[in-house]
Amino acid sequence: MSTKAVKLQSELKMGAATRAAFGDALLELARQDERIVVCDADLSKSTMTHKFAQAFPHRFFSCGIAEANMVGVGAGLASAGKIAVVSSFSCFVANKGFEQLRVAVAYPQVKSFKVVGTHSGISIGEDGPSQMAVEDLSLACALPGFVVISPADEVSMKALFRAAVYHDGPVYVRAGRAPAPIVHSPDRAFELGKAVELVPGADVAIVATGLMVAEAIRAAEQLETEGVSARVLDMHTIKPLDREAIHRAAAQTGAVVVAEEHLVDSGLGVRVAQVVAETHPAVMEFVGIQDTYAESGTPAGLLEKYGLVASNVAAAARRALDRKKQG
């Protein structure tokens, strides 16, 4: 396989957190579009909507620590002609606001409603499991009509958040707290529902989302030294899935690994497995959070302990290759 496309680990430059990229993109879009309004539940300094709040105080609605009402208010604003961006930590807005996302947004299909959950996954670090969303993708995918995205870096967040704002339907945007390595070139074009192939490969395909995309690239680099050609797909859109890209990966490599910072039995992995089963059954392995809650620690320490680093992805790829060989 071509080595030119492979970014070496040392070349993955650290970028901004996806929440920061969201905050910047929001401000930029809001300057050009008066319809954009924001609701936040006392976390604007963390979700990064505070920049919008400072620039457009009359279009920012402080909702207090009351996520259910916040989602409803956002649904009302969106129903009356606004583009409502509703933001909090993923675990609060997706869990405490789920019933409202279901009945006030998804069910009547309030199209200009966009929810941005930050501090997703376990990489938030020291605050611990009560603040860690490990099930938000599962919840968001259970909302009919929602598009669900999980950008990997600042480049893709900026482009995909814009696409989300102007998508004709409700969108769930997953953002993270920790700085994210930059995996995309600045000029890359993104489309909702279209995976990006970051590394070409023929032996095994790694389908990753969010922070795990960088780990997948690092794993592919490691595998290459072992003579294994690993394809890496950034599956930034969890719903609707890019069925063609998954079908191609399964058909062309026969071994698919899915990597996500989410409960492994209810996130991207099971959704990809469904498509693989429907299109081209192949050997599969899954990297994600097992049936547990994490704990306090540094982001890096937690990702290591809970099996979400490049070595885990590479090991999963080797298992998949072994099983493929065994037929």
Partner 1 sequence: MTGKKSLEELQALTKTIRRRIVEMTGAAKSGHPGGSLSAVEIVATLFFDVMNHDPQNPHWEDRDRFILSKGHGCPVLYAVMAECGYTPVEQLNTLRKLGSIYQGHPDRRFIPALEASTGSLGQGLSIGLGMALAARLDGKPWRTYVVLGDGEIQEGQIWEAAMFASFHKVDNLVAIVDYNRIQLDGFVKDIMELEPLADKWRSFGWHVVELDGHSIPALREAFAVPAAVKGKPTVVIAHTVKGKGVSFMENNPKWHGVAPSPQEVELALKELA
CA proximity to 106, closest of 164, 170, 168, 165: 170
Site for partner 1 in 300-319 (CB under 8 A): none
Taking CB under 8 A as the criterion, the residue among 20, 25, 29, 37 binding partner 1 is 37
Comparing CB distances to partner 1, the nearer of 107 and 293 is 107
Comparing CB distances to partner 1, the nearer of 113 and 190 is 113
Per CB under 8 A, does 145 bind partner 1? no
- How many whole angstroms separate alpha carbon 59 and alpha carbon 37? 5
Taking CB under 8 A as the criterion, the residue among 9, 45, 55, 107 binding partner 1 is 107
Total residues contacting partner 1 (rule CB under 8 A)? 32
Per CB under 8 A, does 108 bind partner 1? yes
Of residues 34, 67, 126, 278, which has the active-site annotation? Answer: 67
Q: Where are any strands of DSSP class E within 51-150? A: 60-62, 83-89, 113-118, 147-149
With residues binned 3-state (H G I as helix, E B as strand, rest as coil), the percentages for the chain, rounded to 5, are 45, 20, 35
Classify residue 101 by its DSSP letter. Answer: I
In the block, tokens 């095994």 appear at 204
Pick the stretch among 60-68, 166-174, 258-266, 282-290 that binds partner 1 (CB under 8 A): 60-68
Any bridge partners for residue 171, and if so which?
A: 114, 147
Comparing CB distances to partner 1, the nearer of 109 and 290 is 109
Per CB under 8 A, does 200 bind partner 1? no
Per CB under 8 A, does 168 bind partner 1? no
Q: Say whether 261 is catalytic.
A: no
- How many whole angstroms separate alpha carbon 154 and alpha carbon 152? 7
DSSP SS3 for 37: strand
- How many whole angstroms separate alpha carbon 299 and alpha carbon 139? 23
Comparing CB distances to partner 1, the nearer of 21 and 85 is 85
Contacts with partner 1 by CB under 8 A lie at 37, 58-59, 61-64, 66, 68-82, 84, 99-100, 102-104, 107-109
